[in-house]
Structure 1
Amino acid sequence: MVIDSMGPLHRVADVLPQADLVADWRRVTGLYRQCVQFAAPRGVRQPPRPLREALAQAMQDVSASYREREEQMCAHGLAVLANNEGHEEIDGALWQRYYRDDRFADLTEAAPAGRPVPTPYEAMVETCRRIRDARSLRLALAGTGTTGLLVGSASYGRFYNVRGRRPVVPASDLDLIIVLRDATALSEVAARLQRIPFASPTDVHRLADRADVFTNRFDDHRTVLSHKVELWGDHAADPVLEIGGVAGRYALSLHLMTMPVLDYVLISSTPRILRDLAGVRRSVRDYRDRPTHRHDHQRTFAGRGWVLRPETVPAAAGQLRTTDIYRIDEFDSYCPGLFQSMLLPAPDLLWGDDLEVLPRLQDFQRKLADRVRYEAAAQRHALLRPSFAHVRREAFAPWVVDRLDSAHGS
């Protein structure tokens, strides 16, 4: 890994002045030192969640100074962390030590669905990689008449819960929703993705084939096209990971939906989310490229959970999986489904809004806030929060939880 644009530097003392010229790392330094004090000796105590959250927030703040220089942030960050503990030389062994730091190996408190919690440096590296790669996708797909929305952990778990590849656990995906005026734009999206040098050509070509199937057979205003593209596989090596010799493979998870589908997901046809106006339940079909045995988990604003087994049937070059957009249960409690949950909290706009997606999202946020207040009036002695309804809440960075709940008047 090139530590600085001046060339490969191998001493911590050479890198620290460069880092100080770019950003103020003092809060990261202090909080990381505190995390290490909790974690050592290993197995005695683990850093409490508020401390890990504060460190993630500090890294997020520093990242603003490294916009479009994420690889440099990874290099500077390693020197800053290593200096905390008196290291002098930067090499592959030091990189590995911080990326797979066994002092943090037992963190399980915030691990949703058995997913391991990344170490602090791992979360920094993997977040920076996805921010950088999302920018490459924006440059490739801008001008296609589409809108790109960044969702998933790269949006709501930055520097906190974005992890790399493990022996038995895949790396965090880079999740995008791409909104199209109509299905004719799919062929151009697939063609533009061929320009991404670190994207699997096989997966991109398969997307082009499936786009034709979707356009001719499944474009019915109630079906989403989902497809995964491997990034940084055997065909490309990520320079950020070169020094540590770590495999960089992870998945780009694409969900492509036309405007009629988005409007149905966002309940655009009605001004209020009430049983008699919006309907008790809405669903869409998800035209997936590979099978999944995952059930759908839904929760109410009070946190009561439901586990549903979606109907799945084989389809040409994939499968069709029917999944709830939402349902209003027998207690008149609202349960967001898979695709509404992807849009909560509000996603990051990556490119283009000629389709006026953002006003639609804002209107949906308003309706959801009204729905929370409606239910809170009926359940005066309960604590309701929009974040309680999200099955990945424990993976959210702390500022994201605050933003989601405050945006809906909670």
Structure 2
Amino acid sequence: MDLSEVDDRADWRQVRGLYQQMSSLLSNPTGPDELPDIIAGALALRLGRVFAAYTGREEKFGDDLLTIMSDVDGITADPSERFRHLYADERFNSLTPYRQDNRKRRRPKPFEAAIETCRRIRDLNSLRNVMAAARVSTAGILGGSTTYGRFYNVKGAPSMDSAASDIDLMLIVPDVKEISALCESLMHVSALDGDSVRLFASRAKAHEALRGETPEGDLLFSQKIPIWKTTPDAFLASPGIWPQYDVSIHIATIDLFYRIILENVARIKDNTGVEIFDYRAEPPLSRYGARGFNGVDNWVNSASYPVDRGYAWRVQVFDTKEERFKPGLHQGLVMPQFEIRWDDEPLSLRVPIANFKWKVLERLRDERARRPWEVQHLSLCHPRFSIFAPHVMREVDGFSIES
């Protein structure tokens, strides 16, 4: 591909310059034993800015990035070979964050992280378009590594080590009746695993019957659906890279979602908490970690019981035992980016989400005043804070609590 055509589509100068710096460090025999995180983070930030020019053309972004990186590294093989070379870039293999035996989690190579990010955003947009075409009213809240690790920590190729990064998507619907229409729309997404979608639809009927059996009269509806399991993704077909990952969907009615984001709570007080029930397809955890603003893990015991086609899991939305706010798993899908991908009529979540963010930040200010000697940050209460992209960490912890 002609480099002038790539430069006509977007301003790639900063990406090229940062990748040239990274490549020089990796290729220099007297260079550092480790690649500074600040460089990988800066590249991820700039990739995200360029990506904004490719809305609706996510695969073209991947093609252009391949052209830019290949030119910097002087790779002249055919496109499929160049793609495979950059995706599995062996120059990173000896660096601690990128090693497959890293006890925490292997960080993907920059090209891999970029390709896997744009695939997920492409697929997310496709899901939204299918639901919109079917006139299903939803709001989409994006969580997981596609928010806090975009272009930095989104992993593919499960055959290389562990499972590929999920899409963590919370869907809000006006009422429970909309869930059936949502399921029907997913039937038309050929990339989704058909057996899982059919299970999803059958569980939606069971969910409607189960709602009245919980103390709150409502429950979240969750399930993982594999994507690109039986259908090839043309983007990865030519280089021969395994395309499958999971879409983790969590559906809440607007009333239940308001409970999760504390819409009816004036402020977050001490020794309080909220619990909900989550209708899951697979056996849930018997305990899980919840962190305060100080980053210290607290193990929370949870209970579940089998129901038709799944399990009802009693899980905390949050608690403030020991005078420390600890968000639960589902608030962790909203935090730390509070990213609304869309909110179709009649749903409008911009103000409620902002209201939730300010309540959390006011609670952070209260806890800092009580313990001024501690380091307390919004990022530290998230279970994945250690793998946030550096610029996301700065942004999250730079929110002004005086605003």
Query: What is the CA RMSD across the aligned residues, in angstroms?
Result: 2.2
- Bigger shift: residues 183-192 or 219-228: 219-228
CA contact under 8 A between 2:186 and 2:197: conserved in structure 1? yes
- How many angstroms does 1:193 deviate by? 0.7
Q: How does 1:322-337 map to 2 (within 5 A)?
A: 322-330=314-322, 332-337=323-328
Residue number among 150, 154, 159 corresponding to 2:151 in the alignment: 159
Amino acid at match of 1:86: G
Secondary structure at 1:356 match in 2:
coil
Q: 1:185 aligns with which of 168, 178, 181?
A: 178
**What is the distance in 1 between the residues matched to 2:350 and 2:383?**
24
Shift of residue 110 of structure 1? Answer: 8.5
> Amino acid of the residue matched to residue 140 of structure 1?
V
Deviation of 1:107 after TM superposition, in Å, equals: 4.4
Matched AA of 1:51:
I
1:55 and 2:43 matched: yes
Q: 1:122 aligns with which of 100, 112, 118?
A: 112
Q: Percent identity?
A: 29
Residue 189 (structure 1) shift:
0.4
Other structure's SS at 1:303 match: coil
Measure how far apart 1:180 and its partner are. Answer: 1.5
Q: In 2, are the aligned partners of 1:290 and 1:319 still within 8 Å (CA)?
A: yes
Give the alignment partner of residue 36 of structure 1, picking from 15, 23, 26: 23
2:143–2:333 Cα contact (<8 Å) kept = yes
Note if contact 1:311-1:321 (Cα within 8 Å) is conserved in structure 2: yes
3-state DSSP of counterpart to 1:285: strand
**Relative to structure 1, is the Cα distance of residues 237 and 323 closer, same or farther in structure 2, using a 3 angstrom cutoff?**
same
Question: Match of 1:134, as an amino acid?
Answer: L
Query: Counterpart amino acid of 1:269?
Result: N
Say if 2:142 and 2:334, in contact at 8 Å, map to a contact too.
no
Match of residue 355 from structure 2: 363
Check if 1:231 corresponds to 2:227. Answer: yes
Q: What amino acid is the match of 1:288?
A: R
Whole-angstrom CA distance in 2 between matches of 1:211 and 1:176 = 17
Q: Which whole-Å CA distance do the structure 1 matches of 2:103 and 2:197 have between them? A: 29
Letter aligned with residue 387 of structure 1:
S
In the alignment, residue 89 of structure 2 is paired with which amino acid?
A: D
Partner residue, 1:105? 93
Extract unaligned runs of 5+ from structure 2.
none
What does the per-residue CA deviation read over 1:127-168, in whole Å, with 9 as the maximum and x for residues that have no partner?
110111111111111231221222221222210111102224
Please give the secondary structure, in 1, of the residue aligned with 2:243: coil
1:263: which partner in 2?
Answer: 258
* Superposition pairs of residues 371-410 of structure 1, within 5 angstroms: 371-409=363-401
Amino acid at match of 1:47: L
Check conservation: 2:155, 2:164, Cα contact below 8 A.
yes
- Measured in 2, the distance between the counterparts of 1:393 and 1:176 equals 19
1:203-254 Cα distance to aligned partner (Å, 9 max, x none): 11111100011101135445211011111112x1111112210111111110
1:312 matched to 2:304? The reply is yes
State the shift of 1:286 in Å.
Answer: 1.6
1:116 Cα deviation after fit: 1.4
Residue pair 2:114, 2:151 contacting (<8 A) in 1 also: yes
Structure 1: how far apart are the matches of 2:311 and 2:127? 26
| Offset, 1:283 | 1.6
More displaced, 198-207 or 39-48? 39-48
- The one of 316, 341, 349 equivalent to 2:332 is 341
Measured after TM superposition, the shift of residue 400 of structure 1 is 2.4
Q: CA deviation at 1:84?
A: 1.0
Q: Is residue 272 from structure 1 mapped to residue 267 from structure 2 by the alignment? A: yes
Q: Describe the SS at the equivalent of 1:123.
A: helix
Distance in 1 (CA, whole Å) between partners of 2:247 and 2:82 is 29
C-alpha displacement of 1:261: 1.4
Question: Separation in 2 of the partners of 1:156 and 1:217?
Answer: 34
Contact 1:95 1:243 in 2 (8 A): no
Q: Find the residue that maps to 2:304 and give its secondary structure.
A: strand
Counterpart secondary structure, 1:338: coil
Q: What is the alpha-carbon distance in structure 2 between the residues aligned to residue 37 and residue 72 of structure 1?
A: 26
Change in CA separation of 1:260 and 1:284 when aligned onto 2, cut-off 3 Å:
same
Moved more, 107-116 or 149-158: 107-116
Residue 348 to residue 39, structure 1, CA distance change in 2 (3 Å): farther
Contact 2:142 2:333 in 1 (8 A): no
AA in 2 matched with 1:246: I
